[in-house]
Structure 1
Amino acid sequence: MVTDLTPVDDELTAALAGECDRQRETLSLIASENYASDAVLAAQGSVLTNKYAEGSPGDRYYAGCAYADEVEQLAIDRARALFDAEHANVQPHSGTSANLAAYQALLEPGDTILSLSLSHGGHLSHGQPYTMVDDVYDVAHYGVDVETGRLDHERVRERAEAVDPDLLVSGYSAYPRQVDFEGMQAIAEAVDAVHVADIAHLTGLVAAGEHPSPVGVADVVTGSTHKTIRAGRGGMILCGEAYADVIDRAVMPGTQGGPLMHNIAGKAAGFGEALEPEFDADAAQTIENARALAARLADRGFDLVSGGTDVHFALVDFRETHPELTGAVAETALEDVGIVLNKSTVPGEERSSTVTSGIRIGTPAITTRGFDAAATRRLADAIADVCDAPDDDGVREQARETVADLAEAHPIYA
């Protein structure tokens, strides 16, 4: 089915077929990845890829947008229903695009952003060095407590008072605990800053009620539309009516031109699936699997940042238990046996971001495949075995057999 979406091009078709086989035969534990449904794939590969639709439903620059309007309005209405939001803009091309539009809407060049540092779990689009955000705005950072791996709101407040930011960012890329959006809003209000909550990783968990929602709490909420919500790949912005016009102008023409209507169709399809009762059960299982994985790795003697997880991934810190092992080495060894995850910095990191002292292990994609806690614990044992002996060929072969067995028992794209 997946290769039916390819053009008639032998080389490209072969590469896409190979990628489909790779996804079937390996297990994705990258926290930001998931498997789109057949409906989402079909929508994203639809004839809407041909259509320019600059503007918004009912107010387009180009003619011929009647059906594009219907599709985008479906995505908007479903996003609003999922998140109980007054206003939704579903046009951003990615979570990063959503963040850039939010900054443009709410800030002037040279204004100050306060966000979590990258090595402590922040994201590039929150203003890390060498990014456009860092070039345009004055960016300062706060951090987690390096001993506990958790945010200390009193320290964040002290940092905010010292920096006096115009905008505070909450929501993170590698923070394995629930985000206290109300606490972060209180800090923002105390220093007269606007608050942008980035739920790129949490969209599905928030939609299912498995994580507290920042909608109606933060001034503006941004996010990805794939990851835990597994809709069409892209971004979105949620806000109250007070910010609706300025957000819409910042998306188009402020930071991008024509929306990717085929991606918006994929968003509409995925949001429709997320409104079904089965989705809530999947989100709950995603967290249960992450906790099972974290607990099993802890039982095997691995250190977990913050001691565990409340969300869809765990962060493993090798420094005390496996001091010679780097995240890069672990990532490569695990990929060799068919376990695909990513190296990650950890709080207090001294290695570079291309080497790192940890790995991030997410459960959205394996949950979509149908993994329960027992299957996840079995996979955690394979991860632990390889990390304990990354150069042992016998260990690797046993791990490959485990991956093959689990992948066959939990198929995708049959």
Structure 2
Amino acid sequence: MTQPFDATAASAAYRNALEVIGAVEPTIAGAIRAELDDQRSSLKLIASENYASPATLLTMGNWLSDKYAEGTVGHRFYAGCQNVDTVEQAAADHAKALFDAPHAYVQPHSGIDANLVAFWAILANRIESPALAQASAKHVNDLSDEDWTTLRKALGDQKMLGMSLDAGGHLTHGFRPNISGKMFHQSSYGTDPETGLLDYDKVAATAREFKPLILIAGYSAYPRKIDFAKMREIADEVGATLMVDMAHFAGLVAGKVFTGDFDPVPHAHVTTTTTHKSLRGPRGGMVLCQPEYADAVDRGCPMVLGGPLSQVMAAKAVALAEARRPEFQTYAQAVADNAVALAEGLMKRGVKLVTDGTENHLVLLDVSSYGITGRQAESALLDAGIVTNRNAVPRDPNGAWYTSGVRIGTPALTTRGFGVDEFDRVAELMVDVLSSVTPTTTSAGAASKAKYVLADGVADKTRAASAELLDKHPLYPGLDLN
């Protein structure tokens, strides 16, 4: 599934770039080389990571980086932005065509930035208040608790309802320590204690009682599809704005795996996303919205954003152009099929999964049956060359730091060309590692939540088996830095 590229031209480009970098700071050139080596030699299963194409990566290293361009296309606060206008317009046009969206704003530097733009745009669209201007004049880190209280009151004590963190939501969906939980009075909806699935009737009941301004749908660790038509019905019933954060599954929307009621763009008032993860672009964010929110969204800079990263907007344009090609739909379907194969491979070997399976690109393991924490599992798997990240499971007794779960995903290895058989083998290797981990004890004699012992030989055996899989599907085949 690796996107085709001219390996000879790319190799020359990267060798020359590293030579120039190394002449100034060899440590950085060495780290860049080492990162490619590490990624080539490990099983990358982090659900939020992928491999961008050489064209996308190379687009970020150019003179566009040197240009300030606050404002929007044709309305900049700096002179000489004609080329940035071309870049931003191309990225926005590709985004609108790819997602069939009325409006696209491609300046956000990250998914969190995209969500901040969306929050303030919704507030500005729904409420006219000088408090917005006053807040924008003060750095967010300088706002005290009293400032936030005053601001919330000035904005009508607006409310946000989103998926709880332990159910699979994101920290920007109203988690109290996050800015989203400070801007709004927040409440959360969870999942069914037995199935781990969303209960739309309960979401609706919570919304009727809480009456939020913003109803957020989307997730970072929920392994199922969401019915966005139902979420829009709930939002309309209580007079809420439906905002969807599709950062994790944007590639499945772009690739037409999620369509109809499961495509958020036609149902949401505002949709946010990252451009990496399953979309396979550069690290960055984006906001799609209905026309009535377009003007407010376009004021993301200077409301919450600084100067646009023009070189990253250019890379977004390249990646979105790639995603509009027919082969991206083949890739996206393979991501979903491989996730099912990975989930089934784990379950048939006795691993407990949240929701007993998956319908998207990610799988959430509950590793408590092995007598270990998510942190121990993550570390032991890394010892064996399998890169994952620990993640809380619903009602996690170990909290958000140690956790009881591990989140994995299929976008990256699918880009390398892995298929269902290889993912079944990956499941087998993971189980071999997890079943070989023994927690150690603390100085007080209690079982440690962080320290562990991995049985002798397991790490080396797993790395050798992984190498066989990886050698069949090289990362950036033909790209030679030597």
Pairing 1:289-304 to 2, within 5 Å after superposition: 289-304=338-353
With structure 1 as the length reference, what TM-score do the two structures score?
0.97
Deviates more, 1:131-140 or 1:111-120: 131-140
Equivalent in the alignment of 2:472: 409
Equivalent in the alignment of 1:219: 269
Q: How far, CA to CA, are the matches of 2:87 and 2:461 in structure 1?
A: 48
Deviates more, 1:18-27 or 1:285-294: 18-27
In structure 2, give the amino acid aligned to 1:16. I
Deviates more, 1:17-26 or 1:387-396: 387-396
- Give the number of aligned pairs: 411
- 2:81 aligned with 1:65, yes or no? yes
Pairing 1:88-99 to 2, within 5 Å after superposition: 88-99=104-115
Q: Is the alpha carbon distance of 1:90 and 1:5 closer, same or farther for their aligned partners in structure 2, counting shifts above 3 Å?
A: farther
Q: Do the aligned residues in 1 keep the contact of 2:385 with 2:459 (CA within 8 Å)?
A: no
- 2:392 aligned with 1:345, yes or no? yes
Q: How far, CA to CA, are the matches of 1:135 and 1:275 in structure 2?
A: 38
With structure 2 as the length reference, what TM-score do the two structures score?
0.83
In structure 2, give the amino acid aligned to 1:317. D
In structure 1, give the amino acid aligned to 2:99. F
- 2:226 aligned with 1:179, yes or no? yes
Q: Does the residue aligned with 1:353 lie in a helix, a strand or coil? A: helix
Q: Does the residue aligned with 1:297 lie in a helix, a strand or coil? A: helix
Deviates more, 1:172-181 or 1:126-135: 126-135
The structure 1 residue matched to 2:61, chosen from 35, 45, 50, is 45
Q: Do the aligned residues in 2 keep the contact of 1:5 with 1:45 (CA within 8 Å)?
A: no
Equivalent in the alignment of 2:199: 152
Q: How far, CA to CA, are the matches of 2:17 and 2:242 in structure 1?
A: 41
The structure 2 residue matched to 1:265, chosen from 301, 314, 326, is 314
Equivalent in the alignment of 1:398: 461
Q: Is the alpha carbon distance of 1:402 and 1:171 closer, same or farther for their aligned partners in structure 2, counting shifts above 3 Å?
A: same
Deviates more, 1:290-299 or 1:182-191: 182-191
Equivalent in the alignment of 2:428: 381
**CA-CA distance at 1:198 after TM superposition:** 0.6
Q: Is the alpha carbon distance of 1:337 and 1:240 closer, same or farther for their aligned partners in structure 2, counting shifts above 3 Å?
A: same
Equivalent in the alignment of 2:328: 279
Query: Which whole-Å deviations, capped at 9, do the CAs of 1:135-193 have from their partners, x for residues lacking one?
Result: 22111111011210100000111111121111100010001000111111111111111
Query: Which whole-Å deviations, capped at 9, do the CAs of 1:241-263 have from their partners, x for residues lacking one?
Result: 111101111x1121112110111
Q: Which runs of 5+ in 1 are unaligned?
A: none
Q: How far, CA to CA, are the matches of 1:56 and 1:105 in structure 2?
A: 15
**CA-CA distance at 1:239 after TM superposition:** 0.9
The share of aligned pairs that are identical, in percent, is 46
Q: Which has more radius of gyration?
A: 2
Q: Does the residue aligned with 1:393 lie in a helix, a strand or coil? A: coil
Q: Does the residue aligned with 2:187 lie in a helix, a strand or coil? A: strand
Q: How far, CA to CA, are the matches of 2:53 and 2:95 in structure 1?
A: 18
**CA-CA distance at 1:394 after TM superposition:** 2.3
Q: Does the residue aligned with 1:196 lie in a helix, a strand or coil? A: strand
Pairing 1:73-152 to 2, within 5 Å after superposition: 73-107=89-123, 109=152, 110-152=157-199
Equivalent in the alignment of 1:239: 289
Q: Does the residue aligned with 1:343 lie in a helix, a strand or coil? A: strand
**CA-CA distance at 1:3 after TM superposition:** 6.3
Q: Do the aligned residues in 2 keep the contact of 1:233 with 1:266 (CA within 8 Å)?
A: no
In structure 2, give the amino acid aligned to 1:162. E
Q: Do the aligned residues in 1 keep the contact of 2:243 with 2:271 (CA within 8 Å)?
A: yes
- 2:46 aligned with 1:30, yes or no? yes
Q: Do the aligned residues in 2 keep the contact of 1:305 with 1:346 (CA within 8 Å)?
A: yes
Q: Is the alpha carbon distance of 1:4 and 1:222 closer, same or farther for their aligned partners in structure 2, counting shifts above 3 Å?
A: farther
- 2:408 aligned with 1:361, yes or no? yes
Equivalent in the alignment of 2:251: 204
Query: Which whole-Å deviations, capped at 9, do the CAs of 1:349-403 have from their partners, x for residues lacking one?
Result: 1112111111111000000011011111111110111011122122222111111
Query: RMSD value over aligned CA atoms?
Result: 1.2
Equivalent in the alignment of 2:132: none
Deviates more, 1:354-363 or 1:10-19: 10-19
Q: Does the residue aligned with 1:144 lie in a helix, a strand or coil? A: coil
- 2:210 aligned with 1:163, yes or no? yes
Equivalent in the alignment of 1:15: 31
